[in-house]
């Protein structure tokens, strides 16, 4: 029998259930020494009492209270991916069918575009006619919109400024619009942080 009683840290090793070369002699000593066995038993009672301690439950509204203070941002790439997923069919068979339809449509469009490209003269003529009609329609719609928004007098004044004046006016409008959007965004961020 060893004459030295176990040190506190040696009792801890046994309580923690450590295994290793140095633990075997400690276990052997415990078998022979009543005093150390009692100390180990006392230590185990404490550990068992600790390990039997329950978890307490917080208020059931904790999650709601936390989430009311946590800003949850959906990154742009995740939002885009989710949007695509929403449009995709759920079942594998439906996805294959959708792929087949989309592939057929793409193939048909490609063939059509190639055929049109091969009709050179016809394409030039048709593009010219279509372009002129679009230009006339856009100019007309723009004029109507300007008259509706500004009135005849303001439109005449604007025309008097010439192209350079119109460009400067447009630039000023864009700067004001961007400034307004940035200001609103900053206010929104500040109020969310507050």
β strands within the chain, DSSP E: none
Alpha carbon distance 194, 184 (integer Å): 15
> Could you tell me the smallest distance in angstroms from the CB atom of residue 154 to another protein?
46
Q: Which residues contact 1 (CB under 8 A, 6 or more apart)?
A: 29, 32, 33
> Could you tell me the smallest distance in angstroms from the CB atom of residue 16 to another protein?
8
Q: Compare residues 42 and 144 and give the one whose CB is closer to another protein.
A: 42
> Could you tell me the smallest distance in angstroms from the CB atom of residue 132 to another protein?
48
> Could you tell me the smallest distance in angstroms from the CB atom of residue 61 to another protein?
10
Q: Compare residues 64 and 121 and give the one whose CB is closer to another protein.
A: 64
CB contact at 8 A, 26 and 14: yes
Q: Compare residues 4 and 77 and give the one whose CB is closer to another protein.
A: 77
Q: Which residues contact 13 (CB under 8 A, 6 or more apart)?
A: 22, 23, 26
Binding site residues, another protein, CB under 8 A: 8-9, 12, 15, 42-43, 45-47, 49-51, 53-59, 62-63, 65-67, 69-75, 78
């Amino acid at each position: 029998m060893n004459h030295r009683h176990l040190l506190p840290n040696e009792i801890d090793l046994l309580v923690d259930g450590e295994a290793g070369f140095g633990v075997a002699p400690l276990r052997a000593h415990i078998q022979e020494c009543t005093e150390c066995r009692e100390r180990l038993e006392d230590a185990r009672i404490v550990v068992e009492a600790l390990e039997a301690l329950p978890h307490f439950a917080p208020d059931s509204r904790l999650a709601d209270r936390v989430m009311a203070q946590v800003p949850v941002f959906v990154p742009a790439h995740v939002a885009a991916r989710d949007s695509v997923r929403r449009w995709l069919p759920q079942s594998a068979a439906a996805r294959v069918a959708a792929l087949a339809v989309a592939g057929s449509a793409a193939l048909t469009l490609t063939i059509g575009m190639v055929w049109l490209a091969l009709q050179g003269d016809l394409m030039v003529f048709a593009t010219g006619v279509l372009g002129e009609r679009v230009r006339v329609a856009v100019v007309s719609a723009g004029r109507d919109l300007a008259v509706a928004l500004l009135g005849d007098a303001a439109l005449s004044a604007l025309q008097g400024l010439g192209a350079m004046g119109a460009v400067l006016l447009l630039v000023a409008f864009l700067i004001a619009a961007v400034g307004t959007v940035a200001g609103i965004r900053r206010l929104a961020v500040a109020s969310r942080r507050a």
